Structure 1
Amino acid sequence: MDPSPEVELDFPREWIEFTDPANDEHQIVADLTWLLSRWSCVFGTPACQGIIAERPDDGCCSHGAFLADKDDRKRLAGAVKMLTPQDWQLMGEATEKGKVVKKGYLELDELEDEPALRTRRFDGACIFLNRPGFAAGPGCALHIMAVRKGIEPLEVKPDVCWQLPIRRTQDWVERPDGEQILRTVVTEYDRRGWGPGGLDLDWYCTGSPDAHVGARPVWQSYGPELRELLGAPAYEELSRLCRRREGLGLIAVHPATVAAERIDAGARIADQSGVSTSQ
């Protein structure tokens, strides 16, 4: 399918601030425009164009995943031990003498001018990416394994993979009374979140109307991820606030969600009138 034009990066957003019910020194700032949007992952459908031209089947997995810290590396190592050849198409490429080795699935690179480990790239994409035609289906082998085992994918995937496209930043800030509090911001991981190269991605889903087709808003569909990022009490409060704001109606609706609704409405009208909308 021909992709719909992406929306501009800068547009009005609605935000809400609240204190974590479990910690009065933790302030959360949430982007309601993003969390109430209808974005949904469209990997594996014609809507997903991939971030690199002519490689739609890679989705956003073309560059591999940088690992955030020791905990991230430990989680991935544990997850790899749970993978089987039925989950992971390229397991053989990471194996030596019948055993998966770290250098088979990790490689050293640079992130922000510092040495950093990332998942190894094989044939132009992450080695954990199952290609089309694999029996278990295309997509992340770690995700496929998690679904098979009935566990949350965030328990086995690298941080950047399960958090995307939610961006969380945290800073200690000083209030006017001199008290220090932790300020957590959750918002859209848009093109800029990828760094200087983000603007050069061939296509990116968060600004595409073609990906704003979810049956549920992001705060619900990404509930497990938000719960992990904020803590259970804070997520419950965020859910209450999102539900209330939804009932009142947003002032600043995500423009990609608006565009998707217009496209859908146009298609329904065309169907009712018997006019084809195919290109």
Structure 2
Amino acid sequence: MPEVDLVFPRAWVEFVNPADEDEVMRCDLTWLTSSYTCIFGQGCAGIYADAPDVGCCTLGAHFADDADEQRVAGFVGMLDENLWQHGPRGREVTTEDWVEVDDEGERKTLTIVVDGQQACVFQNRPGFAPPGGGGGAGCALHALAYVLDKHPLETKPDVCWQLPIRRTFRDVTRQDGTTYTEVSIAEYDRRGWGPGGHDLDWYCTGNTEAHVALEPLYVTSAPELIELMGRPAYDELARHCEAHLRSRSALALHPADPH
């Protein structure tokens, strides 16, 4: 089925962060209670038609900051040929093997072209069968997390594990002159990619094909949300999500969900 429209009625909730009275969390209940799940390798068509096997990893990942890059660097040094298809062979990894600078001077993961398909250098392609076993398509850093018994959010660049949850910050001044920081937790839809997002050949968040989870997003992505919000704020969010699901308001359901 085609994607749903980008604009539709949504239900939002605002509450003070229990761990920080200067923060107000603004959360999209419609998105967070949806049945969305990543379907990479299970029907994902990729954001570009000429690279259907690499999901949304076509353009590489921009680092949030120096700390993000340095954290990932520590895990890149743990990768071997059984986990990383396109890593260097017979020598130690260097920064040039996995980092590049884009046209705006921003640092990001290197992209390479294999069999005509561009993707992040950490993206192993279908048919990857290393001599030590394992393999298959997918992110080498994601695979490393399971080897280390960690969650992938610990080993991957921030933007990779956050997508398609979007966290934004806004400074707000109330009419009485007091201020707070608004932290929004919402859907990273096509618009989140900038003007080029409208040119993507396929995108997941508004596609019925990706709204197939048996549990709502706030449950399936609890580790990511806790990392983004903190545990106290997540617990408060979960309470509001549960109440929202009980209400089952027709104007508050994601249109890509099965009804």
Query: Is this a same-fold pair by TM over 0.5?
Result: yes
Q: Distance in 1 between matches of 2:4 and 2:247?
A: 25
Distance 2:181 2:50 in 1: 43
Hey, what's the Cα distance between the residues in 1 that align with 2:34 and 2:126? Answer: 30
Find the partner of 1:25 among 22, 29, 34: 22
Which ranges in structure 2 are unaligned for 5 or more consecutive residues? 130-134
How many residues were matched structurally? 249
Task: Provide the residue aligned with 1:253 in structure 2.
Answer: 253
Match of 1:8 among 1, 5, 8: 5
Partner of 1:271: none
Tell me how far apart the structure 2 counterparts of residues 44 and 147 of structure 1 sit (CA, whole Å): 17
Deviation per residue, 1:147-172 (Å, 9 max, x gap): 22211111111111000000110122
Aligned residue for 1:69? 65
Cα distance in structure 2, aligned partners of 1:35 and 1:237: 13
Match of 2:123 in 1: 129
Match of 1:108 in 2: 101
Q: CA deviation at 1:196?
A: 0.8
Corresponding residue of 2:139: 140
Map of 1:34 onto structure 2:
31
Residue 84 in 1 paired to residue 77 in 2?
no
1:200-244 per-residue CA deviation (whole Å, 9 max, x = no partner) reads 000000011000001111111110111011111101111111112
Provide the secondary structure at the position in 1 that maps to 2:21: coil
The AA in structure 1 aligned to 2:101 is L
If you compute each CA radius of gyration, which structure gives the higher value, 1 or 2?
1
Counterpart residue identity of residue 81, structure 1 = G
Q: Percent identity?
A: 50
In structure 2, the residue matched to 1:58 is 54
Partners of 2:19 and 2:44 lie apart in 1 by 39
One-letter code aligned to 1:141: A
- Partner AA of 1:203 in structure 2: W
Cα deviation, residue 122, structure 1:
1.1
**SS in structure 1 at match of 2:13:** strand
Other structure's SS at 1:19 match: strand
**SS at the partner of 2:53?**
helix
Alignment of 1:173 onto 2:172: yes
Q: 2:237 matched to which residue of 1?
A: 238
**Which letter maps to 1:43?**
F
Give the SS at the match of 1:205: coil
Distance 1:219 1:178 in 2: 34
What secondary structure sits across from 1:181 in the alignment? strand
Structure 1 consecutive aligned stretches of length 4 or more whose deviation exceeds 4 Å: none
Structure-2 separation of matches of 1:178 and 1:50: 47
Give the distance between the partners of 2:150 and 2:171, measured in 1 at CA. Answer: 33
- Give the Cα–Cα distance (whole angstroms) in 2 for the partners of residues 35 and 242 of structure 1: 7
Instruction: Classify the secondary structure of the residue corresponding to 1:13.
Output: coil
Shift of 1:54: 2.9
Task: State the secondary structure of the residue aligned to 2:167.
Answer: strand
Q: Which residue of 2 aligns with 1:119?
A: 109
2:106 counterpart letter in structure 1: A
Partner letter of residue 119 of structure 2?
Answer: A
SS at the partner of 2:101? strand
TM-score, scaled relative to structure 1: 0.87
Instruction: Quote the offset at 1:134 in angstroms.
Output: 1.5
Matches of 1:38 and 1:54, distance apart in 2:
28
C-alpha distance in structure 1 between counterparts of 2:248 and 2:146, whole Å: 34
Instruction: Report how far residue 99 of structure 1 moved.
Output: 0.8
Aligned position for 1:154? 153
Q: TM-score, normalised by structure 2?
A: 0.93
